[in-house]
Amino acid sequence: MGMLGLRMRPPGTFKLLGHARRNTSGAMDPFTLCDDRSDRIVNSLRMQILEGDEEQSLRIRQIFDDPKEVYRVEIARPDQGYQRTTLLDRDALEELLATDDIRELVLDQLD
């Protein structure tokens, strides 16, 4: 018993707050972690592009061709002094452009 009459926990025992236990079967697989991260990045780009207004500019250009195609996606908001630059491989770019609204925005900029 402690000074206030409360039971003390043994050293090394901790209470986990707010975190549900995850299924750890594939949690440490590097390919799964990489795919999840890529999906989150593409989804974040998609949301930011779709939520943008006329002040936002979008620029996509290829920066490498060999050994793998790599594209640079730039989102700029000059009025806010903000610029986001993300490098994507071809598969991730195709996934981003699979959304009709984003594909239309890119095609409009080409015209």
Q: Which helix (H) or strand (E) segment is 70 a member of? A: strand 70-77
The predicted-structure confidence for 31-60, as pLDDT tens digits, reads as follows 666 678 888 999 999 999 998 888 889 999
Query: Residue 75's pLDDT is what?
Result: 93
Cis peptide bond N-terminal to 10, omega within 30: no
Token duo for residue 36: 């999840």
Low-confidence ranges of the chain (pLDDT < 70): 1-6, 8-9, 12-34, 111
Nearest-angstrom CA–CA distance, 110 and 31: 35
Q: Residues 95, 77, 55, CA angle at the centre, nearest 5°?
A: 95
Nearest-angstrom CA–CA distance, 3 and 109: 71
Query: Residue 19's pLDDT is what?
Result: 47
The whole-model pTM stands at: 0.65
